[in-house]
Amino acid sequence: MAITKKRVLVTGGAGFLGSHLCERLLADGYTVLCVDNYFTGSKDNIGHLLGDPNFEAMRHDITFPLYVEVDEIFNLACPASPIHYQFDPVQTTKTSVVGAINMLGLAKRTRAKVFQASTSEVYGDPTISPQPETYRGNVNPLGPRACYDEGKRCAETLFFDYHRQHKTRVKVVRIFNTYGPRMHPQDGRVVSNFIIQALTGQDITLYGDGLQTRAFCYVDDLIEGFVRMMATGEDVTGPINLGNPHEITVRELAERVIAMTGASSRIVHQPLPQDDPLQRCPDITLARATLGWQPQVALEAGLGRTIAYFERLLALQKTARVPAEAG
Ligand code: NAD
Ligand code: UDP
């Protein structure tokens, strides 16, 4: 008798994290349906998977209902960088809230397990550090980040209401700043910005005094956390923080990138965006205890791989431009 592979839906599968997750699930023997509207994601991110008979890509916006048959759902669809989620804030909130309702409805009908990519932004500009899952946050509901922060908070509410009301099997993780190959080169996130600026000899744009902190997790570590979370028993719903607890200032990150790339770039200061959190660092006690998980890739190693990725990308873009310029 043929053994049927588990069918997994990944929304936002053509994005940075989604494409790594699709790759990992295929390697683990699943059949993967990637759904994306390509707002911030790209077909290039999943091009290498298209020939795999266990992989299928579908253009779809999750603010509209989706009727498919699946065993597990990873709901990642949502722009994640401030410039992209603030570009069309109403659509961002719709993606988080209406998208969550649609994915939870799908999970209810198919009895699938459903995973939500929530965020450290639910803590807003935190007044305690590191942030444990019990911290209720300090979010400005009216500011420019609110479409994302409040959208994700409401999505969490929906996940736990579906769990209580309909016994839906939910898995909620709160992701802290993650970086690695396939980050969108123009999405303004700090790691990609600094690396591209350094590699192209531009000034490094440090917002504010650069003393705000973040803790950066390498993508492979995060995906391992996703897979472990989805594999937990029914009693584990989350929310669980996933991130690297090694906290540094944004200025230190700039200096590290300059040193690693050997760039001659200068650091220039630009205004700190409104509501930019002053500190962020995950308390991962719960992830360690529940998932036996903790990050393995040190910042130096992860930055090295990410710099190598952007070097290749910039070289490809340069070669692609040559014929046009020559012509
Ligand atoms: P990303 O922008 O690269 O990926 C998001 C993907 O969702 C893109 O492919 C985009 O085209 C797609 N998408 C957006 N709106 C959609 C819609 N309405 N319907 C279908 N597809 C849609 O971002 P990412 O960094 O890969 O983030 C993935 C998820 O993880 C997001 O939900 C984000 O909130 C969460 N997250 C990421 C980080 C991080 O550091 N990368 C941190 C916290 C949370
Ligand atoms: N930042 C910066 N220069 C940049 C991009 C970002 O100094 O070119 C800062 C930003 O103000 C924030 C931190 O880096 O304090 C992380 O920004 P990012 O947009 O990557 O993610 P956030 O954690 O704010 O969602």
The tens digit of pLDDT for each residue in 3-12 reads: 678 999 999 9
Of 49, 69, 80, give the one whose Cα is nearest residue 219: 80
CA distance 191 to 303: 8
> pTM of the predicted model, to two decimals?
0.96
* Ligand 1 in reach of 15 Cβ (< 6 A): yes
CA–CA distances in Å: residue 193 to residues 124, 206, 296, 318, 319: 22, 10, 24, 18, 21
* pLDDT tier for residue 2 given thresholds of 50, 70 and 90: low
* pLDDT tier for residue 325 given thresholds of 50, 70 and 90: very low
* pLDDT tier for residue 320 given thresholds of 50, 70 and 90: confident
Atom of ligand 2 lying closest to residue 188 CA = 5
Ligand 2: list residues with CB < 6 Å. 81-82, 177, 188-190, 193, 205-207, 212, 214, 250, 272-273, 276
Looking at residue 319, what is its pLDDT?
Answer: 85
Ramachandran category for residue 177: left, alpha or beta (phi over 0 → left; psi -120 to 50 → alpha): beta
Overall average pLDDT of the 143-166 stretch: 98
Is 30 a known active-site residue?
no
Looking at residue 162, what is its pLDDT?
Answer: 98
* Domains delineated in the chain: 7-179+218-244+279-297 (3.40.50.720)
